[in-house]
Structure 1
Amino acid sequence: MNLKELARKLDLSPTTVSRALNGYPEVNAATRERVAEAARRYNYQPNTRAIRLATGRAMAIGHVIPLATRHEIVNPVFADFIAGAGEIYSRNGYDMLLSVVPDDTEERAYRELKSRGTVDGVIVHGPRLNDERIPLLVELGIPFVVHGRATGTESPYAWVDVNNRRAFQRATEFLFDLGHRRIGLINGLEFMDFAIRRRRGYEDALAARGIAPDPEMMVSEEMTEGAGYRAARRMLALPHPPTALIASSMIMGLGARRAVEDLGMKMGRDVSIIIHDDELSYMRNGEDVPIFTATRSSVREAGRLAADMLLGMVQGKLTSPAEHLMEAELIIGGSTGPYRS
């Protein structure tokens, strides 16, 4: 079925149908929904080339991925986020453009996307403290959404994030309620925004119980199994070791569990562990019963939300930067138990 046939079935002009499908604000919401429903019913697939010519849009969204020397963003979390975002792009007739670049050419990559007109907007990954990409994209005039937030950035920008501070505050409070007082933090790299916020949540919970932070009980590392193992082994070798650990990812948590078991102890009995679970589609935290107690938030859903927000900006449905804060659930698994003296 082509555009004219779809328009005839709806008793609308082809121009109105085209504008409705492309989200033009002058077409009222009821008409847009009616057209979208008919397009689904008749399996209508718009001609992307025709849309590009008619609207001047590239019909593509960009993702610039820096191969950072200290933080590899091409990771399992990124893959699930892209899967979620890709669902929204495909549903709306958009392509995805991935540009993997060295760190020192990231700014040039954004400038080239703008000058070539190859994308209608971009999603920014792995926001950092005082992230320079945000003012750059504002200057270039490219619509963008940040997956996460950038501590230190004052100008408004669109973002989708999980409440990392509250998640780690709740995790620490849960361990306190189980009787633990020596709680170690195995965090991600703390120039990354999510790690900054997670540490603040952990420290907020300590302060509320009148406990001063102990530098020996806090580690900031790349989120790998090996880093989780080394951090846990070092903390557990202290004269006054932790009786509980909080890890910033399941991968780090697996390393911490290995360290506990190497020392002849049992996770959940001798040492409690809480992880952050991004609810990865191919790396589940158990099946019916969670392996780890976890703060859980779906990174795939974050991808869907960010993509939908960005397309709304591109299509003129959102005229000011939007914000979406996701709350993490606290899931009880087999990795935590009451303090044992």
Structure 2
Amino acid sequence: MNLKELSQNLGLSQTTVSRALNGYPEVNSATRQRVERAAQQFGYRPNIRAKGLATGQALAIGHVIPIGTTPEMVNPVFGDFIAGAGETYSRNGYEMILSIIDGRNEDNIYRGLKARRAVDGVIVHGPRISEPRVELLQEIDLPFAVHGRTGHVEKPFTWLDVNNEEAFAEATGYLLDLGHRRIGLVNGQEKLDFAHRRRAGYVAALTSRGIVPDPALMHSNQMTEVIGYESTCQMLALTAPPTAIICASLVSALGVRRAVEEQGLVMGRDVSIITHDDALSYLQNGGDTPIFTATRSSVRDAGRLLADMLLYAITHPDEPPQNKLLTAELVIGRSTGPAPR
């Protein structure tokens, strides 16, 4: 059923029905309730594009994914974030536009989205330590929110992040309390802000106990099962191999575990493993008792929250940007134990 048919059914003008459904104050409450009941009864759904034309909004949010520069963005973590954000968009009458692009022309994509008024705002994924996209979006005045943080930006901006440094310091401290002194790190790409902060937390925890970080125990690359496996094989081949390993994602942890077991070692007895766990829908860390001890923070919840923050920034342009720092919970699983003698 379209707006014209709904209006005829109610015996009201299309203008009155449209205003009632969009909450205009000049429509009295009895009429609004009558229109809403009829819309629900007949399954009426407004035409989002038509509404956008009427209000001057695109009613769409953009996600620009530069495959060439950050391939790890297209993974289960990204999928869960998008699912959470999509729930918020749908609830508020917005659509999502995904642009999978060559990273070399990313600036032009953002400028084009702004010039065409194709979106009302964008989410920035995978921020680097020094992030040029933030200043670009501020320059072209396109509303945005960052999943993560970045430094070296003078003007404030909207962001949501996990306290990565604190989480990896806590994970490292937990292993140190278990007696481990040779602790490996299988990190994400450290040009990305989150991975840089995780290494900082790991290093700070070691140095606070008088342990000099060993470069041979620190690996940084894409967060894949194969990279987790290869990095762990290299560390286990050392003269003084690690008795524990911290890794940046559950996907990496699967590779770490494979390498440990191929050496005939037992996870949690011979080599302890801690991972970051994004509470993924289709790659879960066990049931009531986690497989891996983990620093856990739901990326799906992060998607919902950041989408809400961006929509607020779009509808309240004069308000200061919001920032939210989430805390990861250390959950104890079957992958950690005292350091072997």
Relative to the length of structure 1, the TM-score reads 0.88
Alignment of 1:119-134 (within 5 A): 119-134=119-134
Bigger Rg over Cα: 2
Q: 1:54 aligns to what?
A: 54
Alignment of 1:14-163 (within 5 A): 17=20, 20=23, 45-69=45-69, 71-163=71-163
For residue 72 of structure 1, give the secondary structure of its aligned residue in structure 2: helix
Deviation at 1:69, TM superposition (A): 4.5
1:46 touches 1:93 (CA, 8 Å); kept in 2? no
Unpaired segments ≥5 residues, structure 2: none
Cα shift readout 1:268-322 (whole Å, capped 9, x = no counterpart): 0000000001111000001222100000111111110111111111122772211
Deviation at 1:234, TM superposition (A): 1.0
Q: How many residue pairs are counted as aligned between the two chains?
A: 325
Q: 2:173 aligns to what?
A: 173
Q: 2:264 aligns to what?
A: 264
After TM superposition, where is structure 1 displaced by more than 2 Å over at least 4 residues in a row? 1-5, 13-21, 38-47, 68-72, 151-155
Unpaired segments ≥5 residues, structure 1: 22-26
User: 2 CA distance for matches of 1:49 and 1:101?
Assistant: 24
Alignment of 1:148-297 (within 5 A): 148-297=148-297
For residue 72 of structure 2, give the secondary structure of its aligned residue in structure 1: coil
Deviation at 1:150, TM superposition (A): 1.3
User: 1 CA distance for matches of 2:174 and 2:7?
Assistant: 60
User: 2 CA distance for matches of 1:190 and 1:89?
Assistant: 31
Amino acid at match of 2:245: L
Deviation at 1:236, TM superposition (A): 1.3
2:253 touches 2:275 (CA, 8 Å); kept in 1? yes
1:145 touches 1:306 (CA, 8 Å); kept in 2? yes
User: 2 CA distance for matches of 1:102 and 1:218?
Assistant: 30
User: 2 CA distance for matches of 1:144 and 1:69?
Assistant: 20
User: 1 CA distance for matches of 2:270 and 2:177?
Assistant: 16
1:312 touches 1:318 (CA, 8 Å); kept in 2? no
Q: 2:332 aligns to what?
A: 332
User: 2 CA distance for matches of 1:178 and 1:78?
Assistant: 33
User: 2 CA distance for matches of 1:83 and 1:170?
Assistant: 29
Amino acid at match of 2:280: L
2:70 touches 2:126 (CA, 8 Å); kept in 1? no
User: 2 CA distance for matches of 1:156 and 1:123?
Assistant: 16
Deviation at 1:152, TM superposition (A): 2.9
User: 2 CA distance for matches of 1:333 and 1:160?
Assistant: 27
Seq. identity, %: 56
Cα shift readout 1:233-280 (whole Å, capped 9, x = no counterpart): 111111111110000011111111111111111000000000001111
Deviation at 1:66, TM superposition (A): 0.3
User: 2 CA distance for matches of 1:85 and 1:97?
Assistant: 12
Amino acid at match of 2:275: I
User: 2 CA distance for matches of 1:224 and 1:155?
Assistant: 35
1:278 touches 1:299 (CA, 8 Å); kept in 2? yes
Q: 1:24 aligns to what?
A: none
For residue 230 of structure 2, give the secondary structure of its aligned residue in structure 1: helix
User: RMSD in angstroms over aligned alpha carbons?
Assistant: 2.5
Deviation at 1:90, TM superposition (A): 0.8
Q: Which moved more, 1:81-90 or 1:39-48?
A: 39-48
Amino acid at match of 2:132: E
Judged with a 3 Å threshold, the aligned counterparts in structure 2 of structure 1 residues 50 and 283 are, in CA distance, closer, same or farther, namely: same
Amino acid at match of 2:53: L
User: 2 CA distance for matches of 1:20 and 1:192?
Assistant: 43
